[in-house]
Structure 1
Amino acid sequence: MNETHRASTAQQPTGFVAKLLADKHSVPLSIALHLVPGALIVAAYAWIGAPITRALGLPIFGAWAIGLMVVLLPLWFGLFWLGKQQTGRYTMRGGVVRYRDKPFTRGKITAIGIGLLVYMTVVSLSLAPLDAWTYDTLFTWVTFEGSGSSGTSYLDAYSTSTVITTLLIFGAFTGFLLPLIEEYYFRGFLLPRLPQLGRWAPLFNTVLFSIYHFWAIWTVPSKIIFLLPGVFFVWWKHDIRASIWMHPGSALLMTVVGTTLYATGAM
């Protein structure tokens, strides 16, 4: 039986919780649910992550990892909590996170997912010049470490052991778990609740997800390009596994390869 229509033994939610669990979010509500987490991540970076990493002498990407963790881990728990309101137990099922009906066999979705992973990885890397141009043209006023076309040059101020240690501490989070949470939230929770937008829903979701990355706002054009095919596929076929392969999969690949190259001095 489809998760959306499973019977619930729990008392039906009311108020704002009922609005969150409804089959349709209003456009203003959806915009807020897409963008508020990004604003909170920037605040968590500024007030929690940056002071911690500066005190410990760690690269600033550790501060962004902390900011992401401070916001996304509770957000993940929130999805389970919504499941409890819906079903009486902590779960993302019961219609909370959708597109989990698995219409494809494991082998077929693996092949599709690998294709999307390769597409996202190759295209995102090839669009780095676009990111640099967008930053240099429109966003030079954003001056925190590692922003824009400065790339990873700021890492030269840190020892190799410090950079590698930071990557090992946060890599499992930024390289897989946090992107996985983003997929559950943005593709599994928010995207299915935009039926009024029809075929525009994937573009709406992709654009807002790209803007949600306020800390890298100059990458919005490239993110739309390399994310949209996977998001559209998930919306079209109702199988979130495709974007999980694409987004967390690509993040994991780039984290492992990047850490290896840096550790061996090739980067």
Structure 2
Amino acid sequence: MHVEKPITIDSMKSRDLSLSKVMILIFVPATVLTAAYWAIGHLQKIIPSLLLFFLLAAIILFPAELAIILFAGKKEFGRYSLKSALVNQKKPKAARTLLIGVMLFGLAGILSIVVKPLESLLTSPISGKLGAVLPAYFDWTNFELLRQYPKNMVLWTCIGYGVFNVFVGPVVEELFFRGYLTSKISRFGRRAPIIMTVLFSLYHLWLPFQNLFRISAFLPAAYMAWKENNISIAIVFHCLCNLVSTVSFILVLYSV
């Protein structure tokens, strides 16, 4: 009978990946998604851009990230599983996990008051010029354009936004970044969550002008998830952040 060896710090380091390979795993799927979104968005305007993006993410990005984890599980543990994303994870205590997640969410709210205006000020010269040349179709804040679509299409956009932005996206991304990839750079110690937070932010190629806020908001959650060996903290935090942004989007969309 095969007895699985316990996972130690040394064995984790032996499973580490080079930063170049980590970056390939992160940016290849993200680049393919962004390119497909850009190309298809130019070819058609039947589907709203936000709905198109999440449909493509459901077809390209999230399956790719899950496949990487599953194949790693097969390679390392002999069967397709999410185990590579859950190495040395402690069984989460629901109340503590929720409390920490909510506190981190509150901290992110405070940071948004300070960091977002600063980032907007710093990036406005570039984002303004880019916004002037990009088709209005790709502007997710162009509510007037979205309201021109049939009501059922607008409804499906909101449903897709809710499902993929609030639930599917955060869970898959946290398993991939805070779970699998962070464990693959364990040699960096406490710098690992910092490195992964920066890479996580930069991987959002479709939202290039929010990196300062994204890094400052997600770093405390990434560090706590790493320190506590509990990615559920990061999942709760991520879901809460995206829930607020999604609800805000829908309220503004239907405010007229």
- With the length of structure 1 as denominator, give the TM-score of the two structures: 0.77
Partner of 2:10: none
Residues 204-258 of structure 1, C-alpha deviations (whole Å, 9 max, x = no match)? 1111111111111111111111111111111212110110011123212332343
2:30 corresponds to 1:38: yes
Judge conservation of contact 2:74–2:81 (CA < 8 Å) in 1: yes
Residues 43-102 of structure 1, C-alpha deviations (whole Å, 9 max, x = no match)? 221234x257x342x332223223322222232133223323333433102x34335322
Judge conservation of contact 2:49–2:137 (CA < 8 Å) in 1: no
Matching residue within 194, 208, 212 for 1:217: 208
Which sections of structure 1, spanning at least 5 residues, go unmatched? 7-20
Judge conservation of contact 2:87–2:179 (CA < 8 Å) in 1: yes
Residue type at the aligned position of 1:253 = V
2:16 corresponds to 1:24: yes
Partner of 1:62: 51
Whole-angstrom distance in 1 between the partners of 2:137 and 2:87: 35
- With the length of structure 2 as denominator, give the TM-score of the two structures: 0.80
Residues 139-179 of structure 1, C-alpha deviations (whole Å, 9 max, x = no match)? 4453435799x771x22123273433311234201222012
> How well do the aligned residues superpose, as a CA RMSD in angstroms?
3.1
Residue type at the aligned position of 1:101 = K
Partner of 2:123: 135
Matching residue within 167, 176, 179 for 1:185: 176
Residue type at the aligned position of 1:241 = S
Matching residue within 246, 250, 255 for 1:259: 250
Matching residue within 69, 74, 94 for 1:79: 69
Whole-angstrom distance in 2 between the partners of 1:181 and 1:146: 30
Whole-angstrom distance in 2 between the partners of 1:232 and 1:4: 27
Whole-angstrom distance in 2 between the partners of 1:151 and 1:61: 6
Residue type at the aligned position of 2:75 = Q
**Superposition map of 1:1-267 within 5 A:** 5=6, 23-48=15-40, 50=41, 54-56=44-46, 58-69=47-58, 70-93=60-83, 95-98=84-87, 100-102=89-91, 104-124=92-112, 127-143=115-131, 144=134, 152=141, 154-159=142-147, 161=151, 162-265=153-256
Structure 1 pair 215–125 and aligned structure 2 pair: CA distance change class (3 A): farther
Name the count of aligned residue pairs: 243
Which sections of structure 2, spanning at least 5 residues, go unmatched? 8-12
Judge conservation of contact 1:60–1:145 (CA < 8 Å) in 2: no
